[in-house]
Amino acid sequence: MDLASAQVIGAGLAAIGIGAAATGVGSVFGNYLQGALRNPGAAGGERIWMFVGFAAAELLGLIAFAVAMIILFAR
């Protein structure tokens, strides 16, 4: 196995984090919606935490994408 093959495999494995971030974002919004429907009075106070969770999940996805690109294009 040469270096190019190892880079492609490594980038593919690093890209798994992008799918995990998408799952995390869906979980954050789904849980917020479920909580808001159960207790609409508390939904406004929890909205900021929803955006914090969204930002954290997206940050992890962006980091995974950056690592995958660095692995793929580093020489």
Report residue 12 as tokens: 């593919």
Contact 75, 6 (CB under 8 A): no
Question: Between 1.10.443.10, 2.40.100.10, 1.20.20.10, 1.20.120.1750, what CATH number should domain 3-70 receive?
Answer: 1.20.20.10
Dump pLDDT digits (tens) for 11-54: 999 889 888 999 989 999 999 999 999 999 988 888 899 899 89
CA 10 vs CA 13, 16, 34, 49, 57: distances in Å = 5, 10, 37, 34, 21
Report residue 42 as tokens: 């508390």
15: DSSP letter: T
pTM listed for this prediction: 0.78
Domain boundaries defined on the chain:
3-70
Whether residue 3 is predicted with pLDDT greater than 90 in this model: the reply is no
